[in-house]
A = this chain, B = another copy of it.
Amino acid sequence: MEHDVLKLENQLCFPLYACSREVVKKYKPYLDEIGLTYTQYIAMMVLWEKKTVNVKSLGESLYLDSGTLTPLLKKMEAMGLVARERSEKDERQLLVSITNKGELLKNQAKTIPARMAACLNLNAEEAGTLYTLLYKTLRTGESS
């Protein structure tokens, strides 16, 4: 009865990986209602809060790089949710700004968090603990 360090059920990373994908999948029906993918949804969250961000800082917020964000933002621009324009102060930077249409979407989105939370059957304390541990892990070696 050895403790096998390579057994799937003895890993911490695996439930993290699987849980993340399953939870994102659970969002799909709600996000379909407002025409967003999960990645677009979290990008909109940043924009609902900040109104304008450059790609770099959006990427830092979402832990995504320009390889992911550039096509995502072009599609969101085509959907009329954001505008993209170069910074005048620094032409290297692309400023992404929320449009009126993007602002209006927030009204339709605001019921989603509560409906999702209801899916998860964690109580408030458990959710808080999970949140804290995930952010602690996320901040590990932020330098990478």
Chain A 120-134 interface mask (CB, 8 Å, partner B; 1/0): 111000110111011
Contacts of A113 in B (CB 8 A): 5-6, 10-11
Contacts of A46 in B (CB 8 A): 8
- Interface assignment of A79: CB less than 8 Å from any CB of chain B: no
Chain A 3-22 interface mask (CB, 8 Å, partner B; 1/0): 01111101111111111111
Q: A94 to nearest B CB, angstroms? A: 20
Chain A 58-93 interface mask (CB, 8 Å, partner B; 1/0): 000111000000000000000000000000000000
Q: Which A residues from 13 to 34 make CB contacts under 8 A with B?
A: 13-27
CB < 8 Å: which of B18, B121, B130 contacts A12?
A: B130
Known contacts A8-B61, A23-B137; 13 further A-B pairs (Cβ under 8 A): A8-B45, A11-B45, A13-B27, A16-B23, A17-B20, A17-B24, A18-B138, A19-B135, A22-B138, A25-B144, A26-B144, A122-B133, A122-B137
Using a CB–CB cutoff of 8 Å, the interface residues on chain A facing chain B are 4-8, 10-27, 38, 42, 45-46, 48-49, 61-63, 106, 109-110, 112-114, 116-117, 119-122, 126-127, 129-131, 133-138, 140-141, 144
A-B contact pairs, 9 of them (CB 8 A): A5-B110, A6-B113, A8-B46, A26-B141, A119-B141, A120-B137, A121-B140, A122-B133, A130-B137
